[in-house]
Amino acid sequence: MDVKELEAKVKKLEARLQTMEDIEDIKKLQRAYGYYLEHWMAEDIIDCFADGPDVELLVAAGHYKGKENLRDFFHHGKKDVIMRRAEPEFLHQVMQLCGVVHVDPDGKTGHGRWYGFGANAFPAPGGKTNPGWMNGVYEVDYIKQDGKWRLKKVHWCMTFHAPWGESFVPPEKRQDQRIDRPYQRLGELKPVGAPEETLWPSGFICPFHFDNPATGRKALK
């Protein structure tokens, strides 16, 4: 192998390595978006999106274009929002699952498809709470700005949303059967120290080990 062939091979390997690193950065961004969405941490969610008028969010609530319109949507007209802290009953968990990510040859744009599945709970009138669960698919376009990957277009295609006490399948088509799976707790595996109050509606947010991957915004500790 002569020098030119070796240089070409090294260049090809470098490009391949860069693509792999880009894919990992995109996966980290998308997963972080999901964790911020769970508690409706508005500023961190917005930071995940690219700057510019051509960013888009397509969800059941509508089609939002431009970062300022996204900001209005996620803030709900308020200056700053971390919904879970303001209303502990609130929960908007959409797990970002089974991601398939591609980076375009230019290395500046990319695309991903993810399953979204999770539970939610919204405060309701009269001091009550409306729990539910949902499932869907994300189709996402990404763009690299200032060396950081960000969301450019998020399209949420919701497959179903159902009240927690009901199924998304009509009663006349459903056969319910309880699966009894008894588990035995091992007495020697008891937690050490006082447990965290993590269960709903404590308002607890699990501390983040990472800062916002798009902006470096410090995480909740």
pLDDT, residue 29, reads 98
Alpha-carbon distance of 103 to 99, in angstroms, equals 13
Is the predicted pLDDT of residue 120 greater than 80, yes or no? yes
Alpha-carbon distance of 64 to 153, in angstroms, equals 10
6-62 confidence digits (pLDDT tens): 888 888 899 999 999 999 999 999 999 999 999 999 999 999 999 999 999 999 888
- Stretch 123-143: mean pLDDT: 94
- Stretch 181-205: mean pLDDT: 64
pLDDT, residue 189, reads 57
| CB-based contact 137:116 (threshold 8 Å) | yes
Q: Kindly tell me the burial class for residue 137, based on how many C-beta atoms sit within 10 Å of its own C-beta (0-12, 13-18, 19 or more).
A: middle
| CB-based contact 135:144 (threshold 8 Å) | no
Is the predicted pLDDT of residue 190 greater than 60, yes or no? no
Domain spans of the chain, in order of start: 7-167
Angle, alpha carbons 159-162-167 (nearest 5°): 100
Report the CATH number of the 7-167 domain: 3.10.450.50
- Stretch 165-186: mean pLDDT: 71
- Stretch 187-193: mean pLDDT: 57
DSSP for 80-96, written as a single string? S-BHHHH-TT-EE--EE
Is the predicted pLDDT of residue 170 greater than 80, yes or no? yes
> Where do the DSSP E strands lie in 146-216?
148-163
Give the percent of the chain with pLDDT over 70. 89
Cut 0.85: pTM above it: no
- Stretch 182-201: mean pLDDT: 62
Phi, psi (deg, nearest 5) at residue 74? -75, -25
pLDDT, mean over the chain: 88
Is the predicted pLDDT of residue 182 greater than 60, yes or no? no
